[in-house]
Amino acid sequence: MRRPRSLALSLAAAVIAAGAALFAVSPASAATPSATFTKVSDWGSGWQGQYTITNGGTAALTSWKVEFDLPGGTSAGSYWDALLTTSGAHHTFTNREYNGRIPAGGSVTFGFVGSGPGAPAGCKLNGVSCSGGVTPTTPTTPPPSPPPTTTPPPSGTTPVAKNGQLRVCGRQLCNAQGRAIQLRGMSTHGLQWYSSCVTDTSLNVLANEWNADVVRLSMYIQEGGYETDPAGFTAKVNDYIEKATARGMYAIVDWHMLSPGDPNVNLSRAKTFFTAIAARHKNKTNILYEIANEPSDVHWSSIKSYADQLIPVIRAQDPDGVVLVGTEDWSSLGASGDGQGVSRILANPVNASNIMYTFHFYAASHDDYYLTTFRDAVAKLPMFVTEFGTQQATGDGPNDFTQAQKYLDLMAQNRVSWVNWNYSDDMRSGAVFTEGTCAAGAYSGTARLKPAGAWIRDRIRTPDDF
């Protein structure tokens, strides 16, 4: 029979477990697995928390489960690198399929966003105290408490006023307060064709009636785009960035390379363009750089090589802007190719931090195989859907709203940001306005929306998670 632990030891364990909620204690020197909690950031109404599970034992763990209670008024929101089930105040996090194994001496972290003032209590790892099953060490002097967060609560009401400079945290897009958020908005059509649909009036409607958080400025390189007039297109994008900024929206600067599909063909142009854009707007907090719309007929290693060369050029001007990197086979994560895009990225990721990878889908063409690929990627990589349609990959044809909603549900659950194609009056079904709308300047309300436009407007207008 196992000897029960002494009361004193149990009390010591409880003190340590409680202490773990306030500061990170170093894992017990016990020869057992332990889990420690850290508040990575705190913005008053909420916080970002992280658990580190350290396998102090001699055998590998093959799965793990961390459970704890949150006090009333405190709840867990989005989370990463774990799965969550809740039952009232009780929260149970279990490993994902890719991080269940922890070798002896190894560790794994997962994180989540909490809202409310409380912190986890009563933590158990695989059924025993998170501080480890045997003799916990008495913590020496606890590390100094982190300085109080000085970021004042946001006072404005626009998406940028509320969230400020974004950054990638774990696999999420986080705001300046460290909270994982989801942005939703629209992409312009090609600026060389449909600039007439991007005006003060149309952007007012996008910001104030559609409540969009983000506009993607889609600048083609070929097909009459940037390569024909670099200075003119740079000036146009600068102008649209100012307009987005004035309306408190995030702006994705979309280097809309499409054909040829090898982004390296346009690398030197991209360096010139992004240097100018980043130098000019580096002090703004609302710029995201999308460096390759849709690579195709090119191996991941070439896309990575392009990103590895271009990102430092952007960062030399604007060190903290989030960069979005296109993926294989028209940003399908390889689903339109051999289906191995996610594993190739994991094996050979872009050599930079604060980046996300992009996925594009067109719901009537891209069935559950694409959805499964995307779901897999969301569990493993920081993802941003910078373009999607509810129709076929031509941006035209019948809508499949049922399939599109499956993608939207997945993105909502995982706080993946998205941008819909496109905010123009092109004749295709995926252009939100009926033909002639832009010439008439009649963007307000719903009278000029095609079915896809009415559907997506409803989904952008719902309240934000920030």
Q: Which residues are catalytic?
A: 294, 387
Interacting residue with ligand IDC among 330, 370, 384, 407 (CB under 6 A): 330
| Piece in contact with ligand IDC (CB under 6 A), picked from 173-181, 266-274, 393-401, 409-417 | 393-401
Residue nearest to ligand IDC (CB): 395
User: Which of 46, 55, 54, 31 shows the shortest CA–CA distance to 76?
Assistant: 46
Question: Quick one: how far is CA 417 from the chain centroid?
Answer: 6
Task: Kindly give the interhelix angle for 368-380 and 401-413, rounded to the nearest 10 degrees.
Answer: 10
Min separation Cβ 329 and ligand IDC, Å: 11
CA gap 301, 271 in Å, rounded: 19
Which tokens in the block code for residue 452?
């896809």
Chain residues 241-300 in contact with ligand IDC, contact rule CB under 6 A: 258, 293-294
Min separation Cβ 357 and ligand IDC, Å: 16
Chain residues 76-115 in contact with ligand IDC, contact rule CB under 6 A: none
Which tokens in the block code for residue 427?
């004749």
Min separation Cβ 223 and ligand IDC, Å: 5
Give the nearer residue to ligand IDC in terms of CB position, either 156 or 224.
224
CA gap 449, 447 in Å, rounded: 6
Min separation Cβ 185 and ligand IDC, Å: 16
Residue 147 φ then ψ, to 5°: -60, 150
Give the nearer residue to ligand IDC in terms of CB position, either 55 or 293.
293
| Piece in contact with ligand IDC (CB under 6 A), picked from 5-13, 195-203, 205-213, 388-396 | 388-396
* Rg of the chain in Å (alpha carbons): 24
Q: What angle do CA 251, 255, 256 make, to 5 degrees?
A: 110
Interacting residue with ligand IDC among 69, 209, 223, 464 (CB under 6 A): 223
User: Which of 231, 328, 333, 309 shows the shortest CA–CA distance to 277?
Assistant: 231
By CB under 6 A, is residue 393 in contact with ligand IDC?
yes
User: Which of 453, 262, 290 shows the shortest CA–CA distance to 359?
Assistant: 290
By CB under 6 A, is residue 228 in contact with ligand IDC?
no
CA gap 166, 113 in Å, rounded: 16
By CB under 6 A, is residue 179 in contact with ligand IDC?
no
Interacting residue with ligand IDC among 360, 415, 448, 457 (CB under 6 A): 360
Beta bridge partners of 46: 115
- Under rule CB under 6 A, how many of the chain's residues touch ligand IDC? 14
H or E element that contains 210: none
CA gap 16, 343 in Å, rounded: 40
- Quick count: other Cβ atoms within 10 Å of Cβ 225? 21
Q: Whose structure tokens read 């710029």?
A: 287
Min separation Cβ 391 and ligand IDC, Å: 9
Residue 447 φ then ψ, to 5°: -60, -30
| Piece in contact with ligand IDC (CB under 6 A), picked from 11-19, 120-128, 314-322, 390-398 | 390-398
Cβ within 8 Å of residue 268, ≥6 positions away? none
Give the nearer residue to ligand IDC in terms of CB position, either 39 or 189.
189
Chain residues 394-453 in contact with ligand IDC, contact rule CB under 6 A: 394-395, 421, 426, 428
Min separation Cβ 174 and ligand IDC, Å: 27
Give the nearer residue to ligand IDC in terms of CB position, either 17 or 292.
292
CB 396 within 8 A of CB 429: yes
Min separation Cβ 340 and ligand IDC, Å: 20
Binding mask 26-65 vs ligand IDC (x if CB under 6 A, - otherwise)?
Answer: ----------------------------------------
| Residues of this chain that bind ligand IDC (CB under 6 A) | 223, 258, 293-294, 330, 360, 362, 387, 393-395, 421, 426, 428
